[in-house]
Amino acid sequence: MAAFTSNPKADMAQRFFNFAAQGDVAQVTSLISNSSFLINQRGENGWTALMLAARNGHFEVAKVLIAKGCDLSPVNKSGQTAYDVARFWGHKHIATLLSGGGVLDRCPQSTSLNVVHGPGENIYFNHEFLDRSSNKRTDTKWLATKKMCPHTVYIVFHNLNPLVTPDASDDSNGKGGDNVSNQLSKLRPSLVMPLLEQPGVTVVFLGVEKEKRNCVPNSTTTTMAMVEGEGGEEEEEKDDDGLTAWFALNTEQDPTELLKLSDSKSFFLQPPMPGLLMLSDNDASIVAQSRAMLAWHSRYSFCPTCGSETTVDEGGHKRSCLREGCRSLKGIHNTCYPRVDPVAIMLVIHPDGNQCLLGRKKVFPPGMFSCLAGFIEPGETVEEGVRREVWEESGVRVGPVHYVSSQPWPMPSCLMIGCHAVALTTAINVDTNEIEEARWFTRQQVIEASVRSKDAVFSMPPRQAIAHYLIKHWIGMNANL
């Protein structure tokens, strides 16, 4: 019979990992003092001793490893660094240790900013096409000039429904995906002039294109051939700063006849959903800003403080009371500025790390499950809002809450704050007034749903929703993170 032989180095490494995971500072220090090769040794799924210490909240072990020169840049098989692991499990003291003193600067391969704090650029409605140029909002002369400038672009809304044109372009650059079917109609001042002269029309300055129109065009700038109504050379001389300004306007009266569009296929998108989810990335970002601002104006024609009429100020970014002596005219009041409603939306992760909690409302399409969500209340933090909403809707208690990314949602003016939350309990007790059903789904079931497998037991929310992003983000995370 062949003799059994063990691998002393492998055994030592396994003991080293166990001590790091258990928080045994003395043993960790002793082992790396005698066997320095252990400090950056990789174990199962690419985990290092520092990752294991970060996972279990062992601050002193992490300090020792860093002091001994532990490399902070390695990532495990799912792309997480030790910093990512600490952040995910709520060990802020270790995350601070790993991020302080220039630590992250020494980790060129660190993926923490991509894994725990998703950048959000690829989320629908998040593309920053315009420079908002807030410094120009009080420059009434500049705004008046830009409103008439032949290169200015207007986006027209009728009762908050945008004017769109069927998208016949085959160019997918800058598009939101295969579902793109319409593009915003972009009009010149010469076409909207009759509308600007009508009573009850609200105009909001959106900003200027980030690229000056006299620069070399690229894929991020608007194709001016798509804009209806061109100005002449004489008018062009009035525009000397090279900036293309954008405005949005809303009217309650049907403006079709006044616009006299050359493209008879243009129409006002009604109802807004799901049509608003079928625009290019640039157009979606414009809608997110425009519709939210115009919806605010439609609700605040009268002063919330005294009930008097208000007027539009600062390029549409403020409303001022017309009654002399109103308290809202002194100091800064949130009733004078656009409203944004914060909404927590969260993917709850099972304690085993390999399941997530999803729910469905009666209004969802058959078979669709999504993340839980709810409004954050006054005086409440995002973390508290997440915990409260999950408890109210599903009866599940959660502990660590971690911000992932956000998304403006112009229905009418919400800011979706996307988080991952780790469950402390697993029993589900649904509040049927809030949601119809909630279930734990395994990682494999979620993967099957994400690829639309015939074996999928549920369907995902649309890719334009941040819920889709939160779920896909979790799929790539280590099952034993």
In a domain, 203, yes or no: yes
Q: Which of 300, 322, 351 is the last residue of a domain?
A: 300
* 77 touches 45 (CB < 8 A): yes
pLDDT, position 78? 67
The dihedral region occupied by 47, where left means phi > 0, alpha psi between -120 and 50, and beta the remainder, is beta
Token pair for residue 71?
A: 């490399």
Amino acid at 355: Q
* 238 touches 144 (CB < 8 A): no
Q: Is the same domain home to 269 and 379?
A: no
* 149 touches 245 (CB < 8 A): yes
Peptide bond into 274 cis (omega under 30): yes
Q: Is the same domain home to 347 and 267?
A: no
Token pair for residue 369?
A: 């499950």
In a domain, 188, yes or no: yes
Q: Residue 97 is part of a domain; what is its CATH number?
A: 1.25.40.20
* 335 touches 305 (CB < 8 A): yes
Range of the domain at 426: 341-475
Length of the chain: 481
Q: Is the same domain home to 80 and 184?
A: no
pLDDT, position 230? 52
Residue 204's SS3 state is: strand
Counting the structural domains of the chain, the total is 3
Q: Is the same domain home to 293 and 434?
A: no
In a domain, 292, yes or no: yes
Q: Which of 300, 332, 367 is the last residue of a domain?
A: 300
Q: Which of 83, 115, 147 is the last residue of a domain?
A: 115
Per-residue pLDDT of the chain (481 residues), as tens digits, is 444 446 888 888 899 999 998 999 999 999 998 888 899 999 988 899 999 999 888 889 999 999 988 988 888 876 788 988 887 676 778 888 887 533 333 333 332 323 333 445 578 999 888 999 999 999 999 999 999 999 999 999 999 999 999 876 644 444 444 456 899 999 999 999 999 988 889 999 999 998 765 433 333 334 433 566 654 443 444 456 889 999 999 999 889 888 877 667 889 998 888 889 999 999 999 999 999 999 999 998 899 899 999 999 999 999 999 999 999 898 888 788 898 999 999 999 999 888 999 999 999 999 999 999 999 999 999 999 999 999 999 999 999 999 999 999 999 999 999 999 999 999 999 999 989 999 999 999 998 998 888 889 999 999 999 999 999 888 876 544 4
Q: Is the same domain home to 164 and 261?
A: yes
Cβ atoms within 10 Å, residue 348: 27
Q: What are phi and psi of 398, to 5 degrees?
A: -125, 155
d(CA 465, CA 446): 16
In a domain, 326, yes or no: no
22-34 in b/e form (b: 16+ CB < 10 A) is ebbbebbbebbee
The owner of tokens 């990992």 is 17
Q: Is the same domain home to 141 and 268?
A: yes
Q: Tell which residue, 276, 22, 240, has the closest CA to residue 125.
A: 276
In a domain, 423, yes or no: yes
In a domain, 315, yes or no: no
pLDDT, position 229? 61
Q: Tell which residue, 132, 89, 71, 439, has the closest CA to residue 289.
A: 132
Q: What is the pLDDT of residues 125-176, one digit of tens each?
A: 998 889 999 999 999 999 999 999 999 999 999 999 999 998 766 444 444 4
Q: Is the same domain home to 296 and 224?
A: yes
Q: Residue 416 is part of a domain; what is its CATH number?
A: 3.90.79.10
Q: What is the DSSP letter of 370?
A: B
In a domain, 125, yes or no: no
Q: Which residue blocks in 256-395 are alpha helix, DSSP H?
A: 256-259, 281-299, 382-394
Token pair for residue 145?
A: 């000039």
d(CA 19, CA 329): 64
Beta strand extents in 159-222 (DSSP E only):
161-166, 182-184, 186-187, 202-209
Q: Is the same domain home to 85 and 169?
A: no
Report the Cα–Cα distance between both ends of the chain, in Å, rounded.
Answer: 41
Q: What are phi and psi of 72, to 5 degrees?
A: -90, -10
Q: Is the same domain home to 452 and 420?
A: yes
Q: Is the same domain home to 174 and 223?
A: yes
* 144 touches 189 (CB < 8 A): no
Q: Tell which residue, 78, 251, 42, 239, has the closest CA to residue 146.
A: 239
Q: Is the same domain home to 147 and 97?
A: no
Q: Is the same domain home to 158 and 211?
A: yes
CB within 8 A of 390, min separation 6: which ones? 346, 348, 357, 372, 396, 397, 398, 421
d(CA 382, CA 376): 7
Cβ atoms within 10 Å, residue 373: 23
d(CA 228, CA 382): 44
In a domain, 3, yes or no: no
d(CA 261, CA 348): 49
